[in-house]
């Protein structure tokens, strides 16, 4: 009988040995813990092999759905070794947590020593990615001559913990009690000099297990950061091993060597708030007050505020009673000063931003120039008028970077009249609204010697009701300018955007995404004269209305390069005007490049009118001309070019063009080179293409053009040569075969020459 019992016990042990402690666990924990403040539900798959030669490798996968709708996860690998009832093990985990404004990842490792009488565990955790965040400072209030902000920091904390645990009584009964206790340490993290973490704590847990299926646990901990924490957990375990073996050996899953790994599942995050006082001195103005310039008691006038200010101060103005009382004195700013209205946000730098405190702009006025800039000034959020001068003007010596932002400027001689004649200066002029100025809305007036470099961004402004130019860049003398004019809205003005260089000045101007519409002579005017150089790039603009949508004008010995890309040009002028009008006089150098523009309206699509220049070229690629009333690309008047002279027309579409879509004539003594490649002409009323050599020589290459129903007209008169390149055999028939014209009409003597003859 004794032998039978021993045999039965051996058989049971063997059966247990061939099973696996793999199990699926579903549990819920409430409600907060070390480094998190919400409960969560966990699904865990513990996947282990059978014990073999005393070893058991395992994988542990846990997913957590937090009560606030966020997610966390753990994935680990481990190995245990058992001998003589003692088990040692090690594990390695990857952890992830989705928290607000922070999604940390970490690596963790643990060591364990397990016996039937007690257990010892040591775990360490080290965040590796997205471990800290500093939230934008939040404005709290003004106080005195400053502003108070609250700064918030978050950090995922490295951690180490140890635990000693033991069962209360047997490990394997119908109901089993287990308790553990140990210390932990949250390591320090620094964010912008602020310390988080650095806390020693203690923790304990008590667990009740019922028939190795149902578990209940209470956790207790304390540290100086999270204080007292009490949690409760309830869960169910479903064995995944051999059911028959597990049923026969009720102690199999509760053996020390087969218990689940114990470790922290949620990455701890520490949050800290800190109040900070801005370093900038703010002088407050309110015309309903009468005191000392603090927030609690502002100055009543801008004159008093300026008299008591220093370089670098911020003059912060409230609308007061809504009138100009106390706000009618001309202001000359000191270096590095800001004058700001309370109706827009105040940026103090370093991420410190005060939101708008009112919904009105304070009203400032003066008989002369209302605000005069000096060095590194900002003018923002003001309602400015000046009956006889400028709303904002530069001082006699000006430098640094000056910003004019979000102002309403109206009823002035000039709205903004700035520039430089003595030093290099930068301007940022954005989001201003300018109305009813008798001269210019925005005038960037640049003069001086070649060492003066002026850079400017003029963006997102609105200007209308302007007597002269809505936006004018006027560079003269030795000034050098780099200007970006972007996304401005231009209404009724004499001219919309005007870019002009004279007297050896140099300007590089980018005009992008602007819209100009209304009654005006020129939507955009590009000019260069008197040995100056203007380089103009126009991209994505919409110009609607005016005598000319765009006029390009060079004079004397100016050099101008104009690159127009993807603009929409619409002209409401007369039939004789050019939607894009190109004029040149003197010994200028003029190069115009048109790419992917849409050109429509009254007048000529592109009118080259009376060119007198040393060098001239027009390149038009993939443009759409439609419904123009007096031609597409059309030159007229006396064309006199003494140097390089060329037209390159490729891939353009001409649709419903009244009269000829292409007319190129030469009266110049120099040879005009004309390339016409792959252009498409549809619905044109008169004959499609005309080349006229009238006292000037032309050599043309005409390939791949499609103009069904229309002729190619070639006209030679006066002492001139008109040459057309042709494949072999060299003839008009060969040229016709390479294109889609119905016929070639010849007047005078036309010479067909082999390819490669034109320069």
Compute the average pLDDT of residues 624-639.
87
Q: pLDDT at position 388, please? A: 82
pLDDT band at 575 (very low <50, low <70, confident <90, very high): low
Residue with tokens 């209404």: 491
Percent of the chain with pLDDT over 90: 71
Q: pLDDT at position 384, please? A: 97
Q: Is-cis flag, bond preceding 730, omega within 30? A: no
- Asked whether residue 452 carries a pLDDT value surpassing 80, the answer given is no
* Range of weakest confidence among 42-46, 450-454, 468-472, 557-561: 450-454
Q: pLDDT at position 246, please? A: 57
Name every residue whose Cβ is closer than 8 Å to that of residue 80 and which is 6 or more positions away in sequence: 55, 56, 58, 87, 88, 89, 112, 114, 257
* Range of weakest confidence among 47-51, 168-172, 232-236, 592-596: 168-172
Q: pLDDT at position 591, please? A: 97
Question: Nearest to residue 488, comparing CAs of 508, 469, 467?
Answer: 469
Structural domain including 562 reads 549-759
Please state the three-class secondary structure of 351-389 as a single string. Answer: CCEECCCCCCCCEEEECCCCEEEEECCEEECCEEEECCC
Compute the average pLDDT of residues 331-343.
96
Residue 172 lies in a domain: yes
Which residues does residue 55 pair with via DSSP β-bridges, in sequence order? 52, 81
Please give the mean pLDDT across all residues of the chain.
90
Q: pLDDT at position 134, please? A: 87
Compute the average pLDDT of residues 395-403.
84
Residue 346 lies in a domain: no
Q: pLDDT at position 639, please? A: 83
Compute the average pLDDT of residues 575-593.
89
Q: Is 372 exposed, middle or buried (0-12, 13-18, 19+ CB in 10 A)?
A: buried
* Range of weakest confidence among 120-124, 235-239, 592-596: 235-239
Helices (H) and strands (E) in the chain, counts: 4, 64
Name every residue whose Cβ is closer than 8 Å to that of residue 2 and which is 6 or more positions away in sequence: none
Give pLDDT tens digits for 464-519.
Answer: 999 999 999 999 888 888 999 999 999 989 999 999 999 889 999 999 999 998 87
Handedness of CA 726, 727, 730, 735 (dihedral sign): negative
Total number of residues shown for the chain = 759
Compute the average pLDDT of residues 288-296.
91
Residue 445 lies in a domain: no
Which of the 8 DSSP states describes residue 233?
E
Number of domains in the chain: 2
Name every residue whose Cβ is closer than 8 Å to that of residue 733 and which is 6 or more positions away in sequence: none
Compute the average pLDDT of residues 53-78.
96
Check: CB of residue 64 under 8 Å from CB of residue 95.
no
Q: pLDDT at position 244, please? A: 64
Which residue among 220, 241, 273 closes a domain? 273
- Asked whether residue 649 carries a pLDDT value surpassing 90, the answer given is yes
Q: pLDDT at position 2, please? A: 38
- Asked whether residue 684 carries a pLDDT value surpassing 80, the answer given is no
Main-chain dihedrals φ then ψ at residue 746, nearest 5 degrees: -115, 135
Which residue among 225, 253, 273 closes a domain? 273
CATH code at 148? 2.40.160.160
Collapse the DSSP code of 447 into the 3-class scheme (helix H, G, I; strand E, B; otherwise coil) and give the result.
coil
Compute the average pLDDT of residues 288-303.
93
Question: Nearest to residue 662, comparing CAs of 626, 687, 696?
Answer: 687
DSSP structure string for 639-668: -EESS-EEEEEES-EEES-SS-SEEEEE--
Helix (H) or strand (E) holding 55: strand 55-66
* Three-point CA angle 541, 583, 454, nearest 5°: 55
Which residue among 273, 306, 327 closes a domain? 273
pLDDT band at 7 (very low <50, low <70, confident <90, very high): very low
* Range of weakest confidence among 95-104, 563-572, 661-670: 661-670
Check: CB of residue 658 under 8 Å from CB of residue 685.
yes
- Asked whether residue 174 carries a pLDDT value surpassing 90, the answer given is no
- Asked whether residue 686 carries a pLDDT value surpassing 80, the answer given is no
Compute the average pLDDT of residues 311-315.
97
Residue 230 lies in a domain: yes
* Range of weakest confidence among 212-216, 555-559, 698-702, 748-752: 212-216
Q: Please state, as a whole number, how many other Cβ atoms lie within 10 Å of the Cβ of residue 349.
A: 9
pLDDT band at 450 (very low <50, low <70, confident <90, very high): low
Residue 381 lies in a domain: no
Residue 733 lies in a domain: yes
- Asked whether residue 172 carries a pLDDT value surpassing 50, the answer given is yes
Q: pLDDT at position 14, please? A: 36
pLDDT band at 243 (very low <50, low <70, confident <90, very high): low
Residue 612 lies in a domain: yes
Q: Please state, as a whole number, how many other Cβ atoms lie within 10 Å of the Cβ of residue 624.
A: 16
Q: pLDDT at position 8, please? A: 34
Which residues does residue 706 pair with via DSSP β-bridges, in sequence order? 680, 740
Residue with tokens 């061939």: 18
Residue 490 lies in a domain: no
- Asked whether residue 128 carries a pLDDT value surpassing 90, the answer given is yes
């Amino acid at each position: 009988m004794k032998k039978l019992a021993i045999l039965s016990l051996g058989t049971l042990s063997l059966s247990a040995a061939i099973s696996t402690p793999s199990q699926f666990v579903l549990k819920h924990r409430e409600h907060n813990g070390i480094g998190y403040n919400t409960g969560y539900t966990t699904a865990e798959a513990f996947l282990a092999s059978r014990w073999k030669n005393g070893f058991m490798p395992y994988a542990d996968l846990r997913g957590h759905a937090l009560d606030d709708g966020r997610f966390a996860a753990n994935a680990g690998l481990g190995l245990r070794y058992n001998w003589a009832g003692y088990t040692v093990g090690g594990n390695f985990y990857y952890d992830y947590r989705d928290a607000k404004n922070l999604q940390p990842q970490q690596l963790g490792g643990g060591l364990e020593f397990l016996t039937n009488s007690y257990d010892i565990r040591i775990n360490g955790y080290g965040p590796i990615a997205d471990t800290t965040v500093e939230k934008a400072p939040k404005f709290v209030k003004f106080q005195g001559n400053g502003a108070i902000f609250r700064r918030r920091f978050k950090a995922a904390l490295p951690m180490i913990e140890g635990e000693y645990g033991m069962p209360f009584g047997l490990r394997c009964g119908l109901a089993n009690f287990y308790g553990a206790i140990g210390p932990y340490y949250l390591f320090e993290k620094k964010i912008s000099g602020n310390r988080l973490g650095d806390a020693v704590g203690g923790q304990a847990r008590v667990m009740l297990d019922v028939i190795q299926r149902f578990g209940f646990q209470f956790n207790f901990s304390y540290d100086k950061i999270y204080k007292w924490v009490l949690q409760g957990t309830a869960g169910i375990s479903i064995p995944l091993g051999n059911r028959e073996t597990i049923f026969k050996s009720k102690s199999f899953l509760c053996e020390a060597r087969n218990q689940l790994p114990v470790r922290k599942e949620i990455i701890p995050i520490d949050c800290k708030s800190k109040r900070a006082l801005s370093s900038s001195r703010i002088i407050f103005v309110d015309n309903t007050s009468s005191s000392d310039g603090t927030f609690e008691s502002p100055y009543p006038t801008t004159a008093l505020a300026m008299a008591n200010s220093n370089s670098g101060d911020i003059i912060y103005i409230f609308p007061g009673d809504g009138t100009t009382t106390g706000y009618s004195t001309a202001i000359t700013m000191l270096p590095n000063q800001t004058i700001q209205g309370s109706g827009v946000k105040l940026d103090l730098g370093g991420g410190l931003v005060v939101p708008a405190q009112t919904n009105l702009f304070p009203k400032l006025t003066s008989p002369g120039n209302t605000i005069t800039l000096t060095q590194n000034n900002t003018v923002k959020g003001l309602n400015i008028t000046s009956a006889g001068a400028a709303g904002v003007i530069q001082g006699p010596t000006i430098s640094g970077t000056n910003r004019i932002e979000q102002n309403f400027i109206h009823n002035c001689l000039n709205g903004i009249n700035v520039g430089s004649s003595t030093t290099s200066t930068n301007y940022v002029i954005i989001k201003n609204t300018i109305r009813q100025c008798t001269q210019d809305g925005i005038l960037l007036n640049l003069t001086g010697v070649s060492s003066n470099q002026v850079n400017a961004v003029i963006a997102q402004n609105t200007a209308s009701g302007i007597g002269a130019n809505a936006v004018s860049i006027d560079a003269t003398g030795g000034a050098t300018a780099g200007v970006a004019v972007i996304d401005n809205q231009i209404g009724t003005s004499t001219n919309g955007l005007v870019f002009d260089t004279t007297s050896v000045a140099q300007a590089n101007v980018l005009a992008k995404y602007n819209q100009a519409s209304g009654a005006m002579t020129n939507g955009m005017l590009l000019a260069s004269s008197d040995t100056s150089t203007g380089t103009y790039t126009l991209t994505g603009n919409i110009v609607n209305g005016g005598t000319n949508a765009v006029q390009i004008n060079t004079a004397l010995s100016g050099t101008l390069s104009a690159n127009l890309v993807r603009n929409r040009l619409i002209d409401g002028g007369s039939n004789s005007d050019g939607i894009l009008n190109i004029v040149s006089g003197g010994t200028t150098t003029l190069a115009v490049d048109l790419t992917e523009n849409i050109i429509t309206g009254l007048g000529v699509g592109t009118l080259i009118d009376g060119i007198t220049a040393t060098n001239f070229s027009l390149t038009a690629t993939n443009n759409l001309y439609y419904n123009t009333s007096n031609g597409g690309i059309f030159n007229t008047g006396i064309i006199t070019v003494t140097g390089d002279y060329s037209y390159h027309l490729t891939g353009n579409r001409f649709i419903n063009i009244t009269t000829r879509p292409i007319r190129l004539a030469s009266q110049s003594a120099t040879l005009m080179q004309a390339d016409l490649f792959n252009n498409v002409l549809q619905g044109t009323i008169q004959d499609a293409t005309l080349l006229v050599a009238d006292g000037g020589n032309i050599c043309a290459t005409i390939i791949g053009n499609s103009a069904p129903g229309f002729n190619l007209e070639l006209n030679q008169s006066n002492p001139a040569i008109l040459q057309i390149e042709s494949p072999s055999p060299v003839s008009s028939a060969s040229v016709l075969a390479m294109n889609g014209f119905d016929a070639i009409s010849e007047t005078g003597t036309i010479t067909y020459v082999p390819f490669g003859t034109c320069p």
